[in-house]
Amino acid sequence: MKRLATCLAATIWMLGSAVAGAGDAVKAGQSDWPNWRGPLGTGVSPDGNPPVEWSEREGRNIRWKTPLPGLGHSTPIVSGDRIFITTAIPFGEPLPPRYSKAPGAHDNLPVTHRHKFVVIAVDRASGRILWQKTVREALPHEGHHQTASLASNSPVSDGESVYASFGSYGLYCLDFDGRERWHADFGLLHPLHGHGEGSSPALANETVVVNCDHEGESFIVALDKRTGERRWKVKRDEVTSWSSPIIIEQGGRSQVIVNGTNRMRGYDLQTGNVLWECGGLSSNVVASPVYADGMVFAGSSYEKRIFLALRLDGAQGDLTGTNRVAWTRKQGTPYVPSPLLYGDFLYFLGHYQGVLTRVNAKTGADSPGAFRLAGIQDVYASPVAAANRLYITDRDGVTVVVSHADKPKFLAENRVDDRINASASIAGREFFLRGEHNLYCIAEE
């Protein structure tokens, strides 16, 4: 496959500082997408080369389309010849609607049925469902926002097992044939406004990490990936967040990084001890951080807009207001979609609208800064990238493709006939989209 020199240089830089959160998963190969932000944890597939154009209505470059049961917004992950997704399926007789009693609840859907919490394995080549494992049946203790789901936490795989979190309804380790190896329960969580849960697990160095920020006693927990045995659990002085943790390798030490309203923190992966912390983000943190080359980047946008870039070499203690803060930004910061780190450049969507900002990751300088993406407007999915191209998908099923360049160029506008909230996956020459009703494999004919 031909690769431009700029793409190769970017890939070398990123591989040299790869996220340890992809560590165990990378064993399955760079052509996989083993967790919700890909093999590098940055939203980039280093050797991917999916199509630029497709159309469901014209039948162009849609290799297969598989109907999915239930509802879920988790990203499809790819490991070898299998795709894993999660979903929640209502069953049984309808119940009297039960609405969330959370303070400030709004725009929520009521609980009207018991649900099956399900992990599904799909054949990568054909789209055929290989197995469908119900890991739990329960009456949800509360509903969720009308744009959310009961299966928004994305799974992760190390090439041998798949680890699927349903938040309040447990974390499950299954083998590739759908047999349960272990499961762990962390109790019921109560997110702000009853809007639902969404933080995905992270995996590295034989350890699975789950973050649980809610309106009760928040905590972060690490488990042995082989047995499910708890390695450590640490209380967090945090309110609700939906951000997923990442695991990085910095200075010969693995650490877990988690965004939060009060502090962004780095935890020692072995002990759970806080290594460093930094204040300044907004409340209602949703976007996950990204990391490369000794720097971590995190943003939020709610009652205020803020983006932080931190230098982690030798970072210790409280970094707030110190020279470890390389730069900050107060415009165009992300809310729901997480940022994308591609080579020396950082991309993020303003709030969840169709305005994309490109800055130099080292300095925060505009390169070229913010520009509007024609054709899309309401974006919940996080942007992904491969082969010097960015793919941004909105909730109406429209994916805009733009070039990864100093002056990004519009390349294509594509559409599928489905509602899209889940972030896409790129594996090799394939692009996977998970809609509310279908799973799509987009590949050149």
CATH number of the domain at 241, please: 2.130.10.10
Q: How many CB atoms are closer than 10 A to CB 379?
A: 29
Contact of 319 with 312, CB cutoff 8 Å: no
Contact of 356 with 392, CB cutoff 8 Å: yes
Q: What is the pLDDT of residues 190-237, one digit of tens each?
A: 999 999 999 999 999 999 999 999 999 999 999 999 999 999 999 999
pTM of the complete model: 0.93
Strand partners, 410: 402
Residue-range definition of the domain harbouring residue 206: 5-442
DSSP run (H or E) holding 63: strand 62-67
Predicted pLDDT at 445: 82
CA angle 164/168/171 to nearest 5° reads 25
Q: In what order do the strands lie in the sheet with 340-342?
A: 340-342, 345-349, 355-360, 366-372
C-alpha torsion 50→52→57→60, nearest 10: -60
Which residues of the chain fall below pLDDT 50?
Answer: 1-29
Q: How far apart are CA 222 and CA 124, in angstroms?
A: 30
- How far, in Å, are 26, 106, 251 from residue 278 at the CA level? 29, 31, 19
Predicted pLDDT at 30: 56
Predicted pLDDT at 101: 87
How many domains, the chain? 1
Instruction: Return all residues near 223 (Cβ < 8 A) that are at least 6 apart.
Output: 171, 184, 207, 208, 209, 210, 229, 230, 231
Q: How far apart are CA 240 and CA 192, in angstroms?
A: 6
Tokens of 411: 């390349």
Q: What is the pLDDT of residues 262-305, one digit of tens each?
A: 999 999 999 999 999 999 999 999 999 999 999 999 999 999 99
